[in-house]
Amino acid sequence: MPKLDGEIEALWARTTLRVAAGRYYLVGLPMRMLPKAASLVAKAQRRFTALIAEPDEVSLTISERAWRTSTLKKHASASGPFRVITFNLELDAAVVGYFAPAAWRLAGAGISIIPQCGFRKDHVLVWEADLKKAMEVLKTLIADSKARSVAPSGTWLAANSTLKPRSRKKRD
């Protein structure tokens, strides 16, 4: 794996992990089901959920318990069970490349991921059977970041030309 940029490594050194309780499903629904999917999210009450409305479909990440009793099942395609890992660090939207080292290491370990990003924190869905291995990989990333002094500037970005630093404009 390429070395991490110093700023990204410092962020990973401060990251903690949180695993959401329970099992989750990733669901695809036709657009006409958006209001009912939104209603299901509204009932989630402090559990992890994600709703993405695209022109062609609605994607929903929902707890197994909520999905098991949902009337939407007859209209949906679903995959799971997944577990949700939260990268418990609030990030500015201008940060570039934070998720890349996790994706790189998890892919290297043969772990399929489904990234889901919130306003302040990033999350990843992993198959339930891969949770233990995924946590080991991510804990190693964090430990490696804590153990090393700041890496030479730009090494991660230089090795991955698609990741370019941007100006750090303040966003409203």
Average pLDDT of the chain to the nearest whole number: 85
| Residues contacting 50, CB < 8 A, separation 6+ | 59, 60, 61, 116, 123
Q: What was the pLDDT predicted at 3?
A: 57
pLDDT over 90 for what percent of the chain? 62
Asked if residue 121 lies in contact with residue 48, where contact means CB atoms within 8 angstroms, the answer is: no
Tens of pLDDT, residue by residue over 92-110, are 888 889 999 999 999 999 9
Label residue 90 exposed, middle or buried (CB < 10 Å: 0-12, 13-18, 19+). exposed
Tokens read off for 23: 């099992």
Asked if residue 150 lies in contact with residue 9, where contact means CB atoms within 8 angstroms, the answer is: yes
Closest CA to 106 of 81, 85, 76, 80: 85
Beta bridge partners of 79: 26
Q: What was the pLDDT predicted at 102?
A: 96
Asked if the model's pLDDT at residue 1 lies above 80, the reply is no
Domains annotated on the chain, with CATH = 6-159 (3.30.2130.10)
Q: What is the mean pLDDT of residues 156-165?
A: 40
Closest CA to 75 of 43, 35, 41, 45: 35
What are the angstrom distances between the C-alpha of 166 and each of 10, 53, 120, 163?
18, 28, 18, 9
Whole-model pTM?
0.81
**What residue has token string 């949700």?**
84
- The DSSP letter of residue 32 is G
Asked if residue 62 lies in contact with residue 27, where contact means CB atoms within 8 angstroms, the answer is: yes
